[in-house]
Amino acid sequence: MENKELLKSGEFLVREVNPRDIFIPEEYDEEQLMIAQTCKDFLEAEVYPLLDELDKGDRELMKEIVKKSADLGLMGISVNEEYGGFGQSFVTQMLTAETLGAAYSFSVAFMAHSGIGTLPILYYGNEDQRQRYVTKLVTGELIGSYCLTEPGAGSDANAGKTNAVPSEDGSHYILNGQKMWATNAGFADTQTVFAKIENDRVLSAFIVDSASEGVVVGPDEHKMGIKGSSTAQIYYNDVKVPSSNLLGKRGEGFRIALNILHMGRIKLGASVLGAAKKAITDSVQYANERKQFRTLIANFGAIKHKLAEMVIKTFAAESAVYRVSKDVDVLIEKYKSEGHDMGRATIDAIAHYAVEAAILKVYGSEMLDYVVDEAVQIHGGMGYSAEMDVERGYRDSRINRIFEGTNEINRILLVDTVMKRALRGDYDLFDKAAKLAEDLSDIEIYKMSASDGYFTVKSGYISNMKKIALLLIDAATRTYERKLVHEQEILNNISDIIMEIYIAESLTLRVKKIENIKGEAGIYRDILDVYVYDAVQKTRKFALDAVYSIDESTGGLSKAISGLSETAGINVKEARRQIADKLIEDNIYKF
């Protein structure tokens, strides 16, 4: 793995990847599995028995449990050893996020503290700030929060009006303003607060002690889900913030906020896996107990379809999560070898993979929404009862499509970042797209032949999907030029295709590597068969929707897309039944 050829963010659209160059969950080492088991044991002992109490909004109880996680070292997984942490790899950080993602509101409080509440100071703070704050955040002596959003500044974070004015002697800043949707606000000791200094156009960042005079924390919001998570407005009334608590440089706050959002997106992609696996396990165990018409509902084909589809989407998302996680690890080591300290190397590596982070966030959050919705349906009337965990999971899931930048923002960001990276020369996208479009009747289209091996066929279909994406990018940029930014429906079509490509390719690489390791892939071929078959059909629809919107008369392009989206038929019913049967037999998610 050390010699793997590193792809730039978004470069998967124009490059092929070897399975040996990716990491798959089947390669976890003993230490990683031990950390994951520690997380599971903690949830069973300390969190699950208190879920109902937490959902009543008991701030002190949540704070107490978050602090208990520090006793096991869970708060220090991402933090270097010199500040009291364990300095684990990014893959291990993501595995921790996944495992704790099954903990409903607790996972939100924990991730807010150990992620956005701690890591901005670790990544952007100076040595004094790291010693004063990070060392205590790791032990739970301090609990952290992150304060960016304002009543008039959500997706447009730089529109915030919170203001900081330097004192005459330069010893401190006077902070005034208001923040909202601040997770952990009700019990946090420290806050990373974004504000504009004087009349600056861009934000700066500050570390604010919650106990400072003039800091007023409002009551917790009454929310649809994640009810145990403390979410409140915070008011700053002439708060004196020491000049030594300016985080990073003046005016660097907007960059810090964006990069922390990238981190939040990529880790959300991991945390939703834990929630999905919990919902699937709850569903199959109920299906194996509930009888209708004198037989277990697990025996019904309609239920098997649901269970299998839940597994397929979750397993596919997991494949993408750990593929990019290893890429981040490799890039961190590269940056460190060039002289970056661990903090900056990590955040710069995460920020580099902005395209993949957006994919994981959007696909993962929508995958989880699908899974929890079907979990409620499998439970029937009981799924609508607050007695069942799936009811809580259903409500808690909905926030993930809003967290860390809405999915609408992330879809646009995804395409925009791909194009900007190509324009700055990271990879040749536009020339390849233009060459494909020169003669639509002469495009090389992969068509399955009887002599082709199994993975040759899957890779061929994915190659066709990549050509569809390039053709659409070429057509959209030529037609709209600078006005393309206003054609959000078309950008969404292209974004959805890019996501399907990355997820399908990650899944293909994983299954091929499983087969290389074990000699056969068994049930995982069924997962891959169904996913790629569906992905190509979705790509066809997204592409034709875009083409007919760009130019209804462009018959050549629609014909090329139709040719590129042909696949051999798959017995999806039988494939899904085999997947479901394994799940039903195991009575737990074990893929």
CATH number of the domain residue 152 falls in: 2.40.110.10
404 tagged catalytic: yes
Choose one of 142, 172, 187: the last residue of a domain.
Answer: 142
Task: Calculate mean pLDDT across residues 565-585.
Answer: 97
Given a cut of 60, whether residue 3 has pLDDT beyond it is: no
Let me know whether 310 and 368 are in one domain.
yes
Taking only the tens place, the pLDDT of each residue in 8-54 is 999 999 999 999 999 999 999 999 999 999 999 999 999 999 999 99
Q: What is the pLDDT of the chain when averaged over all its residues?
A: 95
Whether the CB-CB separation of 73 and 81 falls below 8 Å is answered with: no
Let me know whether 317 and 217 are in one domain.
no
Let me know whether 17 and 135 are in one domain.
yes
Let me know whether 150 and 55 are in one domain.
no
Numbers of helices and strands, H then E, in the chain:
20, 10
Let me know whether 286 and 381 are in one domain.
yes
- The pTM (predicted TM-score) of the whole model is 0.96
Residues 131-154: b if buried by 16+ CB within 10 A, e if exposed: ebbbbbbbbbebbbbbbbbbeebb
Let me know whether 227 and 287 are in one domain.
no
Cα–Cα distance, 465 to 481 (Å, whole number): 23
Let me know whether 458 and 570 are in one domain.
yes
Cα–Cα distance, 147 to 179 (Å, whole number): 6
Given a cut of 70, whether residue 246 has pLDDT beyond it is: yes
Choose one of 126, 142, 158: the last residue of a domain.
Answer: 142
Question: Which range is least confidently modeled, 135-144, 145-154, 463-472?
Answer: 145-154
Model confidence band, residue 4 (pLDDT cutoffs 50, 70, 90): low
Taking only the tens place, the pLDDT of each residue in 408-432 is 999 999 999 999 999 999 999 999 9
CATH number of the domain residue 58 falls in: 1.10.540.10
The torsion angle over the Cα atoms of residues 122, 125, 128 and 129, rounded to 10 degrees, is -70
Whether the CB-CB separation of 546 and 490 falls below 8 Å is answered with: yes
Specify burial of residue 56 (Cβ count, 10 A radius: 0-12, 13-18, 19+): exposed
Given a cut of 80, whether residue 510 has pLDDT beyond it is: yes
Cα–Cα distance, 559 to 569 (Å, whole number): 20
Specify burial of residue 485 (Cβ count, 10 A radius: 0-12, 13-18, 19+): exposed
Choose one of 247, 269, 284: the last residue of a domain.
Answer: 247
Let me know whether 34 and 169 are in one domain.
no
Given a cut of 60, whether residue 268 has pLDDT beyond it is: yes
Is residue 421 in a domain?
no
Taking only the tens place, the pLDDT of each residue in 76-103 is 999 999 999 999 999 999 999 999 999 9
Is residue 423 in a domain?
no
Let me know whether 399 and 439 are in one domain.
no
Given a cut of 50, whether residue 1 has pLDDT beyond it is: no
CATH number of the domain residue 535 falls in: 1.20.140.10
Given a cut of 70, whether residue 329 has pLDDT beyond it is: yes
The pLDDT value recorded for residue 160 is: 87
Taking only the tens place, the pLDDT of each residue in 344-378 is 999 999 999 999 999 999 999 999 999 999 999 99
Cα–Cα distance, 418 to 435 (Å, whole number): 18
Let me know whether 402 and 448 are in one domain.
no
Cα–Cα distance, 264 to 506 (Å, whole number): 21
The number of folded domains in the chain is: 4
The β-bridge partners of 477 are none
Q: Is the dihedral of CA 72, 77, 81, 83 positive or negative?
A: negative
Nearest to 208 by CA among 220, 198, 221, 217: 217
Is residue 290 in a domain?
yes
Is residue 3 in a domain?
no
Task: Calculate mean pLDDT across residues 482-490.
Answer: 94
Whether the CB-CB separation of 362 and 414 falls below 8 Å is answered with: yes
Marked catalytic residue, from 11, 318, 391, 404: 404
Is residue 1 in a domain?
no
**Where in the sequence is the domain holding 289, given as residue range(s)?**
253-409
Model confidence band, residue 556 (pLDDT cutoffs 50, 70, 90): confident
Name every residue whose Cβ is closer than 8 Å to that of residue 297 and which is 6 or more positions away in sequence.
287, 290, 291, 303, 378
Let me know whether 269 and 372 are in one domain.
yes
Helix axes 90-100, 30-42, angle to 10 degrees: 30
Taking only the tens place, the pLDDT of each residue in 172-223 is 999 999 999 999 999 999 999 999 999 999 999 999 999 999 999 999 999 9
Is residue 276 in a domain?
yes
Let me know whether 45 and 74 are in one domain.
yes
The pLDDT value recorded for residue 554 is: 62
Is residue 331 in a domain?
yes
Nearest to 406 by CA among 318, 492, 327: 492
Nearest to 234 by CA among 197, 171, 187, 200: 187
Nearest to 4 by CA among 18, 15, 14: 18
Is residue 373 in a domain?
yes
